[in-house]
A = this chain, B = another copy of it.
Amino acid sequence: VFAGKVVVREEARERVLASASELGYVVNGLARSMMGVGRQTMALVVAEMVGPSFAELAAAAEAVATREGLLLMLLTSHGDPAREASLITTLREQRAAGVILVGSARNAAEADERIVGYRDAMEQVGARLVLCGRPAPFEREDVDAVDYDHEGGVHEATRHLLDLGHTKIAFLGYDPGFTMQASRFSGYTRALSERGAEIDDELVVVAANTTEAAQKALHDLLERRPDVTAVVCLTDVIAVGAYRALRARGLRMPEDVSIVGFDDAPFVADLTPPLTTIRAPFAELGRRAAALALGLVTASEHDILGTELIVRGSTARVRSTRR
């Protein structure tokens, strides 16, 4: 009766259902899926459960999982390769239908090899691995990935600043060791190069993705280089750190310094001034990644979703003189 595959007399079915509800019986999903009837779970692995992007993406992925009758497992790797590997093992043991690895990854051949290993391991238990928000390793066509246009987004933002007359444009949050950081940075360099501008290494500053780290990093930069009139921030979190640093130094936005962020986090439109930022389609990203992970669609090519520059009050035309 519960399997639903076999034809049963109506009266018998009702008798079974009645006893079941009387006894509080429910099918043992573990035994059921052990018979290969179908997986019951899929997984989403993120470095940390932070940021708006994470919630939006997870919610979208869960929605498609639910539609397919699956539960969504949410795991964190804390950016630790060992923990990541152990999660993959556990998910294999659990016979998850698919796993989505989301977020920036280490930008190294060794990391790429790990990913391919994970993919093969999952495949061995009949599950899919899909990358989300990061490029496929070695640009391999045989690893499913859905990403958004980090490079294009920052390129558009940087060009926006160039169009406003800025020339001393800093990049805050540089870290070539990670894919996301590297590709966003390359959007910055491309925009500058297209205008024939040199990359001023001093204006490219490393900062961890926290408000505090960003604040300190920009503070230090402005000590050395008070001529900066605009800063491209890796993320909105970093942009908020930039706001704090500028405010602490008595500089006005956007009159003295223009700021652009990335993510369009909640509330950044309510800052003073409202943050100009880049919006990525996180919900769509989660949907596609989940659909890929469950084999509902097949990746025609590597999907790269577009981003959108949202111009608000934190960017303005450069002023010829400062102070």
Contacts and interface: CB of A to CB of B under 8 A. Distances in A.
A244 B55 CA distance: 24
A76 interface: yes
Interface string A259-275: 00000011110111000
A121 B31 CA distance: 19
A82 interface: no
A234 B28 CA distance: 42
A162 B28 CA distance: 57
Given A24-B120, A40-B94, A62-B76, 20 more contacts: A26-B89, A26-B92, A29-B95, A30-B30, A30-B31, A30-B95, A40-B90, A51-B55, A58-B74, A62-B75, A71-B75, A71-B90, A72-B73, A72-B74, A240-B270, A265-B266, A265-B267, A267-B268, A271-B272, A272-B272
Contacts of A33: 30
23 contacts: A24-B120, A24-B121, A24-B124, A26-B92, A26-B125, A28-B34, A30-B30, A30-B34, A30-B95, A31-B34, A48-B59, A49-B59, A59-B76, A62-B76, A71-B75, A71-B91, A74-B74, A237-B266, A240-B270, A265-B267, A266-B267, A267-B268, A270-B271
Interface of A: 24, 26-34, 40-41, 43, 48-51, 54-56, 58-59, 62, 71-76, 89-95, 120-121, 124-125, 237, 240, 243-244, 265-268, 270-272
Contacts of A94: 29-30, 40-41, 71
Interface centre among A54, A75, A125, A270 (most CB of B within 10 A): A270
A13 B284 CA distance: 47
Contacts of A124: 24
Nearest to A95: B30
Given A74-B58, A74-B74, A93 B49 contact: no
Contacts of A237: 266
Contact of A72 (B75, B125, B244): B75
Contacts of A271: 267, 270-272
A123 to B, nearest CB: 9
Nearest to A120: B24
Which 5 pairs of residues, A with B, have the shortest CB-CB distance?
Answer: A29-B93, A272-B272, A74-B74, A49-B59, A24-B124
A155 to B, nearest CB: 26
Nearest to A51: B55
A33 to B, nearest CB: 6
Contacts of A89: 26
Contacts of A266: 237, 265, 267
Contact of A73 (B41, B90, B125): B41
A10 B72 CA distance: 39
A55 B73 CA distance: 14
Contacts of A48: 59
A40 B31 CA distance: 14
A34 to B, nearest CB: 5
A63 B218 CA distance: 33
A145 to B, nearest CB: 23
